[in-house]
Amino acid sequence: MDKYIPQEIEKKWQKQWEEQDVYHTEADPSRPKYYALEMFPYPSGNLHMGHVRNYSIGDVVARFHAMSGYNVLHPMGFDSFGMPAENAAIKHGVKPSDWTYSNIENMIRQQKEMGLSYDWDRKVLTCREDYYRWTQWLFELFYKRGLAYKKKATVNWCDTCGTVLANEQVIDGKCWRCDSKVEKKALSQWFLKITDYADELLADLDKLEGWPERVKTMQRNWIGRSEGLEFELPIEGMDEKISVYTTRPDTAYGITFVALAAEHEIIDKLCENNPRAEAIHAFIKKVQDQSDVERTSEASEKEGIFTGVYAINPFNGNKVQLWVTNYVLADYGTGAVMGVPSGDTRDWMFAKKYDLPIILTLQPKDKELKLEEMDTAYVEHEGRLVNSEQFTGMDMHEALHAIIDYAEEKGFGKRKVNYRLRDWLISRQRYWGAPIPVINCPHCGEVLVPEEDLPVKLPEDVSFEQGVVSPLANSESFVHCKCPKCGADATRETDTMDTFICSSWYFLRYTDPHNTELPFAKDKVNYWAPVDQYIGGIEHAILHLLYSRFFTKVLRDAGLLDFDEPFTRLLTQGMVIKDGSKMSKSKGNVVSPEEIIGKYGADTARLFILFAAPVDRDLEWSDQGVEGAYRFLGRVWRIMLHFADAIKAGQDDYDVKALDKEEKELRRQLHIAIKKVTNDVKDRFMFNTAISTLMELVNDLYKFQNRELNAGLAHETASALLRLMAPFTPHITEELWHRLGFAGSVHQQSWPTYDEDATKASTIEVVLQINGKVRDKVTIDAGLSREAMQDVVMQLPRAKELTEGKTIVKVICVPKKLVNIVVK
RNA sequence: GCCGGUGUGGUGGAAUUGGCAGACACAGCAGACUCAAAAUCUGCCGCCGUCAAAAGCGUGCCGGUUCAAGUCCGGCCACCGGCACCA
């Protein structure tokens, strides 16, 4: 008998599928569509196991839906702008484009070796002119809609990367890519106004039922919406007011000071003719010399300096001190905070340190607080107000709203919603990215490059050297240009866009990848998108997934598409772990996909990775586990060929009544397996249990290896088994499909269906329980009534023995499952 | 601190609606085949106990609801992830 040699059959079928273009897709409004998408990779040069896992999952989803009758879009591309290409240029003197394209070529070869069902004709590379032209076009669309603007701001600077970073790209004060410490710099940079969409980005998370809870939670945290009151305190002796924001207006009668951020603009005015001015400026300098990390760390002490100036609490007319502090954030709320020591832990500590007064305004129900006995603030959201004039005695929640109403009525405050989310900084001082299509004219100011002049191409006369910031600024041919409006000599923007812009719309481009008139045609995008199932790593929970949602909403408002959310369902796969930690070169625990595929074949690699753990959990790599997957495929191979004659002789239509008892049971297991695998793949994404079901079915088939098997049943079983396995292991199933005489490609067959009646057994096993403990089992006729079943079980010797001399309190009978006798 | 997730044999994991805990696989042990080995096929495999059985124990911990709890409720613990001086 032929041996299973994956290397031969995989090559053969990959070639044939490619030649016959079997994965080509066209939009077809008469058919239901399914868009399955894996996050496109950065072209680092080689696939790693995380990729293999990602694509294996996606391929099962895509192939399953294709077999289930959907018109499936399953594309692949490369997120091919970015720093590593530039680093390669600096280190090895290769052009970023050459480095990138050769990496892409190698990775596509590896992806093809996996046997993935991509429509390669739709390949999207973000670094190609035919793509970044539309990235620039979209930037201009944002600009025209008032959503792209340039401003001078304190931004995050990574010196190692020689560029700025978005807030989302700063993780624990460090650069998301190179892990080096992020500094603050004041620069004029481009931003996208994602905050305009904060409310919708938050609210629509509730619509995303197919998203993991933790991803939605992360986005909620990141957006950080809060509701409260913004109100003004007049400054004593000056014609100025200071605005503060609070989520606890119910504590407003307890204000004893106001804390200002060191950067607050009113400080200059407060310092005029102020004997303390010098000390105040010295304090501010000290604060600003601290890094962001130091400043915001839990450990750093809250410090401040009294300005000598007082503000008036508009609620009760109290005089309160104005302090400059190191703990109030300049860019959140108003940059000034009301200080209520009795109701806020930080304010309490601050007041204790500088001996500021404390007023209690809230009493809990179950105990009575006394200021002199308290050693921290009372921060619970529960209780009744005290010392709060007309609001005294009111419940805290009621008072919160009543006090806002009062402030609005009196005209010194208003309801306000604040967000933690900041606008998206998109300028990057790097070469290998999409140039920002703006020209700076000495007369006209900032001017968009006319649409017909797009793309603004990356120049070739660029030298890459260590430490050079903004390579484009050093390119003569790039910088100098004419103003499109007035024709005067002008200069170009020399920053490129954050690569997260490129990846915020690539999934839309797949729907119409060759369009030269628009980024995508509306009918095509509306047919294919939104993505039905998106699959990728949790590391993109905020960055890419939030940005893509933002883009989708803006493009909807611009009329380019008709849906609100880009990804209907999201699956965040777990990491691939070896010896307890993520595979990485530095840890030396990397297993190369190429090696595994070379040794065992792609089918084994895919099967193992899908079987070893549920898709959303981390997966511990096991060489022995891979062996096990390979063994299973060998078992399938042998048992299928063992029954080859019967399978070929059998027909789709055969006399099921002619089957003997064992054969009937095999057929029953087959139909149970079809039901279970379908359910696991379609609704639950439980590929590990789907595969275990297939293994059980194969085990059942082995019970027949030393006896005859009905040809009709052999045929039915092989046909269904190969189709059930096809999405997981596309090559071996295709090979066996042909060898066993089935027509066409297994991948173009319809998904097997099951006969509910065929899954039913004629006899069932029921359990005898005494006081909830299993004491015996008995096989009964499946057709027995509840009463008859109970009688049979009650008559069991074990039942009699164990109830003898005891009182039967109760008998619970669960049809077809168990009888529980409760005795005393 | 707030939010989310996870916790089951030697190991990865299963148990979908409260109804036989441990499917499937890895590792291990044994048998068949073989001169032998590999490969393959078959069987055993939670702990304790027993010649074998029975009984008992067992899903992070404590308690509760229920005839019945891995699953529901209350209270903890540990680990992982996110947010955090956001007023």
| A281 burial type by CB count under 10 A (0-12 exposed, 13-18 middle, 19+ buried) | middle
> Are the CB atoms for A35 and A588 separated by under 8 Å?
no
Looking from the CA of A402 toward its CB, the CA atoms found within 13 Å total 15
For A613 and B13, how far is CA from C1' in angstroms?
Answer: 7
For A295 and B66, how far is CA from C1' in angstroms?
Answer: 55
| A172 burial type by CB count under 10 A (0-12 exposed, 13-18 middle, 19+ buried) | exposed
> Are the CB atoms for A435 and A456 separated by under 8 Å?
yes
Q: What is the pLDDT of residue A183?
A: 86
Residue A782, phi then psi, degrees to nearest 5: -65, -20
- Closest nucleotide to the alpha carbon of A626, via C1': B26
| A780 burial type by CB count under 10 A (0-12 exposed, 13-18 middle, 19+ buried) | middle
Q: What is the pLDDT of residue A1?
A: 54
Cβ-based contacts (< 7 Å) between A 739-758 and strand B? none
Paired with A813 in beta bridges are: A819
Q: Which nucleotides of B are covered by protein (CB under 7 A)?
A: 3-5, 11-16, 19-21, 23-27, 39-42, 55-56, 67-69, 81-87
Q: What is the Cα–Cα distance from A719 to A749, expressed in whole angstroms?
A: 10
> Are the CB atoms for A517 and A492 separated by under 8 Å?
no
Cα torsion through A285, A291, A296, A297, rounded to 10: -120
Q: What is the Cα–Cα distance from A496 to A82, expressed in whole angstroms?
A: 10
Whether the beta carbon of A188 falls within 7 A of nucleic chain B: the reply is no
> Are the CB atoms for A470 and A436 separated by under 8 Å?
no
For A573 and B11, how far is CA from C1' in angstroms?
Answer: 22
Nearest protein residue to the C1' atom of B23, measured from CA: A692
> Are the CB atoms for A563 and A207 separated by under 8 Å?
no
DSSP symbols for A557-586: HTTS-S-S-SEEEEEEEPPEEETTEE--TT
| A790 Cβ neighbours under 8 A, 6+ residues apart | A811, A813, A819
Cβ-based contacts (< 7 Å) between A 146-185 and strand B? 171
Q: What is the Cα–Cα distance from A165 to A167, expressed in whole angstroms?
A: 6
Residue A485, helix vs strand vs coil: coil
**Chain center to CA of A479:** 38
| A322 Cβ neighbours under 8 A, 6+ residues apart | A235, A242, A257, A258, A260, A270, A306, A307, A309, A310, A311
For A30 and B5, how far is CA from C1' in angstroms?
Answer: 42
For residue A657 the two structure tokens come to: 């009544």
Could you tell me whether strands A619-620 and A773-781 are parallel, antiparallel, or unpaired per DSSP bridges?
unpaired
Q: What is the Cα–Cα distance from A35 to A350, expressed in whole angstroms?
A: 56
Instruction: Report how far apart, in Å, the C-alpha atoms of A428 and of each of A166, A425, A462 are.
Output: 10, 9, 16
- Closest nucleotide to the alpha carbon of A612, via C1': B12
- Closest nucleotide to the alpha carbon of A332, via C1': B86
Q: Mean pLDDT per 10-residue run, chain A (824 residues)?
A: 89 96 95 97 94 96 97 98 92 93 97 97 97 98 97 90 91 86 89 95 91 90 92 94 95 96 92 92 87 66 92 96 92 93 91 94 87 88 92 93 96 93 94 97 96 94 83 92 94 96 98 97 97 93 94 98 96 88 81 94 97 92 94 97 96 93 95 96 93 97 94 97 98 97 96 94 86 85 86 84 82 87 84
pTM of the complete model: 0.93
Cβ-based contacts (< 7 Å) between A 308-337 and strand B? 326-329, 332-333, 335, 337
CB neighbour burial string for A132-159, b if at least 16 within 10 angstroms, e if fewer: bbbbbbbbbbbbeeebbebeebebbbbe
For A689 and B23, how far is CA from C1' in angstroms?
Answer: 9
- Closest nucleotide to the alpha carbon of A350, via C1': B85
Q: What is the Cα–Cα distance from A79 to A104, expressed in whole angstroms?
A: 10
- Closest nucleotide to the alpha carbon of A699, via C1': B24
**Chain center to CA of A749:** 33
Cβ-based contacts (< 7 Å) between A 380-439 and strand B? 418, 420
Cβ-based contacts (< 7 Å) between A 526-555 and strand B? 538, 541-542
Compute how many other C-beta atoms are within 10 angstroms of the C-beta atom of residue A33.
18
Compute how many other C-beta atoms are within 10 angstroms of the C-beta atom of residue A332.
16
- Closest nucleotide to the alpha carbon of A623, via C1': B26
By C-alpha distance, which of A371, A372, A306 is closest to A342? Answer: A371
End-to-end CA distance of chain A: 65
Q: What is the Cα–Cα distance from A18 to A121, expressed in whole angstroms?
A: 11
DSSP symbols for A1-17: -----HHHHHHHHHHHH
Instruction: Report how far apart, in Å, the C-alpha atoms of A70 and of each of A56, A384, A508, A683 are.
Output: 19, 60, 19, 15
> Are the CB atoms for A311 and A235 separated by under 8 Å?
yes
User: Sign of the CA dihedral A458, A460, A464, A469?
Assistant: negative
Alpha-helical (H) ranges within A461-565 are 476-479, 499-502, 506-509, 522-528, 543-557
Could you tell me whether strands A413-418 and A226-234 are parallel, antiparallel, or unpaired per DSSP bridges?
antiparallel
Cis omega (within 30 of 0) on the bond before A455? yes
For residue A544 the two structure tokens come to: 């890419």
Residue A389, phi then psi, degrees to nearest 5: 50, -125
Q: What is the Cα–Cα distance from A444 to A447, expressed in whole angstroms?
A: 7
For A591 and B38, how far is CA from C1' in angstroms?
Answer: 26
| A64 Cβ neighbours under 8 A, 6+ residues apart | A681, A682, A727, A751
Q: What is the Cα–Cα distance from A326 to A324, expressed in whole angstroms?
A: 7
> Are the CB atoms for A50 and A538 separated by under 8 Å?
no
Q: What is the Cα–Cα distance from A361 to A378, expressed in whole angstroms?
A: 10
Cβ-based contacts (< 7 Å) between A 225-284 and strand B? 226, 228, 245-248, 261
For A774 and B29, how far is CA from C1' in angstroms?
Answer: 29
Percentages (nearest 5) of helix, strand, coil residues in chain A = 40, 20, 35
The length of chain A is 824
Compute how many other C-beta atoms are within 10 angstroms of the C-beta atom of residue A3.
9
Cβ-based contacts (< 7 Å) between A 617-676 and strand B? 617-620, 622, 624-625, 627-628, 631-632, 634-635, 638, 676
Write a three-state SS string for A88-105: HHHHHCCCHHHHHHHHHH
| A586 burial type by CB count under 10 A (0-12 exposed, 13-18 middle, 19+ buried) | exposed
CB neighbour burial string for A636-659, b if at least 16 within 10 angstroms, e if fewer: bbbbbbbbbebbeebeeebeeeeb
For A563 and B58, how far is CA from C1' in angstroms?
Answer: 52
Q: What is the pLDDT of residue A292?
A: 67
Largest CA distance in chain A: 109
- Closest nucleotide to the alpha carbon of A538, via C1': B81
Residue type, position A587, single letter: K
Instruction: Report how far apart, in Å, the C-alpha atoms of A530 and of each of A31, A61, A521, A732 are.
Output: 16, 16, 14, 33
Q: What is the pLDDT of residue A773?
A: 84
Residue A35, helix vs strand vs coil: strand
